[in-house]
Amino acid sequence: MTSHKPVKKAVFPVAGLGTRFLPATKAIPKEMMAVVDRPLIQYAVDEAREAGIEQMIFVTGRGKTAIVEHFDMAYELEDTMKERGKDLSVLDSSRATPGDIITVRQQVPMGLGHAIWCARAIVGDEPFAIFLPDELMIPNKGGGTGCMKQMVEAYNEVGGNLISVLEVPQEEVSSYGVIAPGKQVSDTLTEVTGLVEKPPVAEAPSNKIVSGRYILQPEVMRVLETQGKGAGGEIQLTDAMAKMIGTQPFHAATFAGRRFDCGSKLGFVEATLALALEREDMGAEVRAMAERLLG
């Protein structure tokens, strides 16, 4: 196995306004919306930790402080819970190791590419991961590992740049970044020969879409520096990545697991139902409840 510089940092672009969930997201960040009892950002951070990532870089904006609070120690809460003899382990995953959470601000929403570029000084000269917390990636029911852990394992083999992809019905491709697949490297890994952001359905090079998890080399920051506006008038990460193809290895990995699009209401409800149904502490009751409701 070739040795590639390990992925220890992850960027979480969380400055978005969450307009699709208004009014729910008027006063709370959309990343704090809970699927059963964990906010979306917690799922993403847990997935990062499982993959061996140590430093979490949040690209935030105004009104997003609840995300950082979530990973702080809530002293009064813990003290009161202790006094009342309550189990504090429920808070374990929301406690960050001191120094592990870093925030930078994106002052104006100018697109995903611009958000990532805001983290350039902290990323420095290392490969880094990106998580879009809207995309909830969950291992298969029988177990298995998270999406980023699978990607890190593949990255250790091929190095370079790696994005997670999944197939969607052709008519949906225009909402996503789409890859032109090249040589199939293994069952789950293919080379990427092209990338296009939100193409018209007829012009899409495939139905394999970029699904919110990336491992990129730091050179992408240099490309983003001068990246002009693309689809939707935004500075697109996809456009900057496209320019890296041919200069460095570029692969796409298919996640062996499940993906819920929690950026849409339907996807969010589906995720809530799916995860509630498989919870040991409530699954049976949720099933009975759903059957009752379906009458």
Burial of 48 (0-12, 13-18, 19+ CB in 10 A): buried
Counting contacts by CB under 6 A, is residue 148 touching ligand G1P?
no
Contact 49, 4 (CB under 8 A): no
User: Minimum Å distance from CB 208 to ligand G1P?
Assistant: 10
Q: Is 197 in the site for ligand G1P (CB under 6 A)?
A: yes
- Interacting stretch for ligand G1P, rule CB under 6 A, among 85-93, 99-107, 218-226, 235-243? 235-243
Crossing angle for the helix pair 40-50 and 147-158, to the nearest 10 degrees = 40
Q: Which two tokens stand for residue 193?
A: 């020969």
What are the φ/ψ torsions at residue 90 (nearest 5 degrees)?
-60, -20
Give the helix/strand (H/E) hosting 252. Answer: strand 250-254
Rounded-to-integer distance, Cα 114 and Cα 262, Å: 22
The Cα–Cα gap between 242 and 199 comes to 14
Per CB under 6 A, the list member of 33, 112, 130, 162 interacting with ligand G1P is 112
Q: How far is the CB of 272 from ligand G1P (least distance, A)?
A: 18
- How far apart are CB 90 and ligand G1P at their closest, in Å? 30
| Shortest CB 198 distance to ligand G1P, Å | 7
- How does strand 128-131 pair with strand 9-13? parallel
Q: Which of positions 114-133 make contact with ligand G1P (CB under 6 A)?
A: 132
Among 119, 166, 209, 224, binds ligand G1P (CB under 6 A): 209
Tell whether residue 147 is a contact of ligand G1P (CB under 6 A): no
CB of 83 to ligand G1P, least distance (A): 43
Binding site for ligand G1P (CB under 6 A): 112, 132, 134-135, 176-177, 197, 209-212, 236-238, 263
